[in-house]
Structure 1
Amino acid sequence: MTSHPWGRVADDGTVFVKTASGDERSVGQYPEGTPDEALKFFTERYDALEFEVGLLEQRVKAAKLSPDEAATSIRTVREQVVDANAVGDLGSLVTRLDALGPVVDQQREARKAERAQRAAESKVAKEALVAEAEEIAQGNDWRAGANRLRELLDQWKALPRIDRASDDALWRRFSTARTSYTRRRKSHFAEQHEKRDASRVVKERLAKEAEALADSRDWGPTAGRFRDLMKQWKAAGPAPRDVEEALWKRFRGAQDTFFGARDAANAEQEKEFAANAEVKEKLLVEAEALVPVTDLDAAKAAMRDIAERWEAAGKVPRDRMKELEGRIRKVEQAIRGVEEEQWRRTDPEKSARAGDMVSKLEAALAEIQADLDAARRAGDEKRVRELEENLASRQAFLDMAKRAAADFS
């Protein structure tokens, strides 16, 4: 009989293993080999079991398996070890396997706490997603809002589920917000589509009218009409993208054609007006030579001739108009001023009033002179002084009246 610390081989080739209680259990026979070969065969089986137990210990302690997977693996390996047909300290392997139970329990509790933590964090995160989605659903940012809701949905899917009641309630709120926003967005774009179609009709009409005006040479009214058409174009709003640019090119092209022709005509007209300005500058030289006026009748006759030629000269450039008109008006005012002054001096009514005033003052002076002569003869010095003062005052008035009368003579 060949023995081993944990087993032996009987004479008939039966191999026994010692249990932890000290009893023996038959694990098999190896009749074709020597006892040493038999023990080696069954101890190698033990080594394989020990390796498997060690590997399981490493995986369990490193948390490579979930607690449930670890418990199942421990149970499976333990069943293999307890009834194993192998020679070795099977009891120690069982003890090592049993020692993994508390480790698994700790991991299970840790995972439970971790899941609870993740669930709490997930709930907070989902509540934030729901709040943002509901805020977006109330807004009108149709482009960025839709993109953001898609991002929020991706974030929702990436978050772990929480308890079913809370998860379902939050999902209903989230889904309702998305649905509400989507419906409002569709309604908005449907309304925009209708408005764009209406704008297309308006802008087609405006482009057609603009094209009809493009060759007009009625510059003022047509330019005003183009301004009205532009106001209507802006008020119409955008048309569908596939026609907006084409309609604008038509409308703008008609405008450019008209205003280009008007600018060309204005440029030609400006040349003509510039020549007219040169003629009027020469007329101004003649007119300004009449001032100061020495012969009113000759100046008036010359000015009438200049005025006729002035009108016949035609329009001048807008930026020269004020200057030239101001100079001719200045000459006219100078002649008119001389004429008014002459009329004032020869006004019969004013002349008569001035002559009457002289006569009355002369008569009054004669009376005062007579009274003064009488006072002197009487030797009344006081009366003489009063009458002399009165006489001097009246004489001053008379001199003024005579000068005024002379102005009307």
Structure 2
Amino acid sequence: MRLLSSEQQAWGRVDDTGTVFVRLSTGERAVGQYPDGTPEEALAYFQRKFTDLEGQVTLLEQRAKRGAPASDIARAVSTLRESVATANAVGDLESLSTRLEKLGGAVEELTEQQSAEAKAAIAAAIAERTEIVVAAEALAAEDPAKTQWKQTTASLDALYARWQAHQQDGPRLPKNDANELWKRFRAARTTIEQNRKAFFAELDSVHRDARTRKQALIDQAESLIPQGMAGIPVYRDLLDEWKRAGRAGKKQDDALWARFKAAGDELYAAKSEVDAKENEEFQGNLTLKLELLDEAEPLLAETDFAKARTALQAIQRRWDEIGKVPREQVRVIEDRLRKVETAVRKLEDDHWKTNNPEKKARSEGLAGQLEDAIAKLESELAEATASGDTAKIAAAQEALDARRIWLQALGR
């Protein structure tokens, strides 16, 4: 008969009938029989069962350290306690029970920790979902007339996507909080949708009115086409009305404007034909007026106003007799003639300022008065100098200097 190892004997034994016992601090407990094998094989068989139990306890301890849900750990501890207490196994069952007792205490700590973490997670989730709701309510509070609806719709869709993702991936919110937040979010969505529909309904109405008005203006513009160039003044008035008619929607506006502009193009095309004929007809007049300008522009350097005025008057009479010139040249040649006219007018004005008899008489009278005053003041200055009165000298000198300046201004 083979002897059992000391390790096998420490936790169990096998009697002569093949019954296997496990040793406990309170005594022995039969765990089963292994009649067809040796005592070593019998103990080894029941020790393997102990090893399985020990592995389950070790795995549970590791799960608890990694923060597995406390409720799962508690259920597993309860199950293993019963398994260890009645285990048909050979090994240190009491150490397993002790380890499970410690796990039970750890479960309580883990429960408190996870409860606090769960509350914090729920508070953070409520805050995040509230942020989504507040953003939606801000969109709902915008003035519909100033809202960029494409951007607002995209923003609302993004908020709803965030809501769904948060609802799916985030922690479960308390029912009352979840319902209240959803009620607010749904109300904001409803308001935005109502505002959007109302805005576009009103915009459609405005566009219809504008289309009606612009169609009427097109009809009037097209009726002007047979008048040719003569219809342009009325067409310009219609163009002002067109600008006041408002928008009819981009696609409609483009099509309507194309028709309205086509009518104007025909009117201006008729005008261009007339202008072309006139330009050809008036080309000779332009040549004659350019010759007159060559004759007139030397007057810019003339200093005799009478001579310049006589020459300019003769040029102006011939200018008017020549008649019209091509339209695009009117401004050019008229500006050149205006420059000469302005120079001659200034020459005449300067002459009369200098030689105006009335003004000259007034100037000479004032000059005489100043000359008398200067003579008197020179006499007073001489007397004051002789007497040595510094105050009188200063007063007389100041008055004398002032009157000399005035006389000089009169050209004396």
Cα distance in 2 for partners of 1:209, 1:33 equals 118
- Residue 226 in 1 paired to residue 240 in 2? no
Match of 1:356 in 2: none
Contact 1:61 1:103 in 2 (8 A): no
Secondary structure at the counterpart of residue 30 of structure 2: strand
- Residue 279 in 1 paired to residue 283 in 2? no
Secondary structure at the counterpart of residue 16 of structure 1: strand
Per the TM alignment, residue 183 of structure 1 is displaced from its structure 2 partner at its CA by: 0.8
- Residue 170 in 1 paired to residue 181 in 2? yes
Per the TM alignment, residue 241 of structure 1 is displaced from its structure 2 partner at its CA by: 4.2
Match of 1:90 in 2: 93
Contact 1:203 1:236 in 2 (8 A): yes
Cα distance in 1 for partners of 2:122, 2:296 equals 103
Pick one of 5, 8, 19 that aligns with 2:10.
5
Cα distance in 2 for partners of 1:52, 1:287 equals 121
Cα distance in 2 for partners of 1:287, 1:11 equals 153
- Residue 154 in 1 paired to residue 154 in 2? no
Q: Higher Cα Rg: structure 1 or 2?
A: 1
CA deviations on 1:228-253 (whole Å, 9 max, x unpaired) are 33333333333244433322333333
Pick one of 20, 45, 52 that aligns with 1:48.
52
Cα distance in 2 for partners of 1:327, 1:271 equals 28
Pick one of 299, 309, 314 that aligns with 2:323.
314
Q: For residue 13 of structure 2, what is the amino acid of its counterpart?
A: R
Cα distance in 2 for partners of 1:111, 1:83 equals 32
Kindly report the root-mean-square deviation, in angstroms, between the aligned alpha carbons of the 2 structures. Answer: 3.9
Cα distance in 1 for partners of 2:296, 2:38 equals 154
CA deviations on 1:62-82 (whole Å, 9 max, x unpaired) are 11x211112112222222222
Cα distance in 2 for partners of 1:292, 1:8 equals 151
Match of 1:361 in 2: none
- Residue 62 in 1 paired to residue 69 in 2? no
Contact 2:229 2:268 in 1 (8 A): no
Cα distance in 1 for partners of 2:237, 2:197 equals 34
Q: For residue 181 of structure 1, what is the amino acid of its counterpart?
A: I
Contact 2:296 2:337 in 1 (8 A): no
5 Å-filtered alignment, 1:8-19, equals 8-19=13-24
CA deviations on 1:312-360 (whole Å, 9 max, x unpaired) are 63313421246558979999xxxxxxxxxxxxxxxxxxxxxxxxxxxxx
Pick one of 261, 269, 274 that aligns with 2:278.
269
Cα distance in 1 for partners of 2:53, 2:252 equals 81
Gapped regions of structure 1 (runs ≥ 5): 332-409
Secondary structure at the counterpart of residue 228 of structure 2: coil
Larger deviation: 179-188 or 113-122?
113-122
Per the TM alignment, residue 129 of structure 1 is displaced from its structure 2 partner at its CA by: 3.1
Per the TM alignment, residue 55 of structure 1 is displaced from its structure 2 partner at its CA by: 1.3
Cα distance in 1 for partners of 2:293, 2:161 equals 86
Larger deviation: 96-105 or 119-128?
119-128
Distance 1:216 1:15, change over 3 A: farther
Contact 1:281 1:324 in 2 (8 A): no
CA deviations on 1:91-111 (whole Å, 9 max, x unpaired) are 111211221122222222112
Q: For residue 108 of structure 1, what is the amino acid of its counterpart?
A: T
Match of 2:363 in 1: none
Q: For residue 163 of structure 2, what is the amino acid of its counterpart?
A: W
- Residue 244 in 1 paired to residue 253 in 2? yes
Pick one of 181, 201, 210 that aligns with 1:190.
201
Distance 1:228 1:108, change over 3 A: farther
Secondary structure at the counterpart of residue 12 of structure 1: coil
Cα distance in 2 for partners of 1:292, 1:181 equals 81
TM normalised by structure 2 equals: 0.66
Match of 1:349 in 2: none
TM normalised by structure 1 equals: 0.66
Contact 2:229 2:267 in 1 (8 A): no
Contact 1:287 1:328 in 2 (8 A): no
Cα distance in 1 for partners of 2:26, 2:224 equals 118
Secondary structure at the counterpart of residue 86 of structure 1: coil
Match of 2:132 in 1: 129
Secondary structure at the counterpart of residue 85 of structure 1: coil
Cα distance in 2 for partners of 1:232, 1:31 equals 115
Contact 1:9 1:15 in 2 (8 A): yes
Percent identity between the aligned chains? 38
Distance 1:56 1:329, change over 3 A: closer
Q: For residue 6 of structure 1, what is the amino acid of its counterpart?
A: W
Larger deviation: 138-147 or 65-74?
138-147
CA deviations on 1:172-206 (whole Å, 9 max, x unpaired) are 22322221121111111111122223323333333
Contact 1:7 1:18 in 2 (8 A): yes
CA deviations on 1:262-314 (whole Å, 9 max, x unpaired) are 345435433433421323455789999xx9999xxxx9xx97xx95x766633
Match of 1:72 in 2: 75
Secondary structure at the counterpart of residue 218 of structure 1: helix
Q: For residue 318 of structure 1, what is the amino acid of its counterpart?
A: V
Per the TM alignment, residue 215 of structure 1 is displaced from its structure 2 partner at its CA by: 6.0
Cα distance in 2 for partners of 1:134, 1:257 equals 55
Aligned residues: 321
5 Å-filtered alignment, 1:102-141, equals 102-139=105-142, 140=144, 141=147
